[in-house]
Amino acid sequence: MDPKSAQLIGAALAIGLGAIGPGIGLGILAGKGLEAIGRNPEATSKIQANMILMGAFTEAIAIYALVIALIIKFV
């Protein structure tokens, strides 16, 4: 296998595997958040604020995976 194809496979694996965790995490976060709002509608503003904050942290992990994939591909 030549180095260029190994580099492309590495970049694909980095973003592919790096996006699985945040995708699952966001699904669980949204499901549990909506479940909590359904159980206690009065706490919607607090729950929603925390959901948005945790969603941003989870997306940051996917962005780190993208950066690593780009480094692998272009360096």
Map out the domains of the chain as residue ranges: 3-74
Q: 3-74 is classed in which CATH architecture?
A: Up-down Bundle (1.20)
pLDDT, one tens digit per residue, over 3-55 is 999 999 999 999 999 999 999 999 999 999 999 999 999 999 999 999 999 99
Tally of residues, the chain: 75
Q: pTM of this prediction?
A: 0.81
Would you say the C-alpha torsion 60, 63, 68, 74 has a positive or negative sign? negative
Q: How far apart are CA 43 and CA 37, in angstroms?
A: 7
Q: How far apart are CA 12 and CA 5, in angstroms?
A: 11
Neighbours of 16 (CB within 10 A): 11
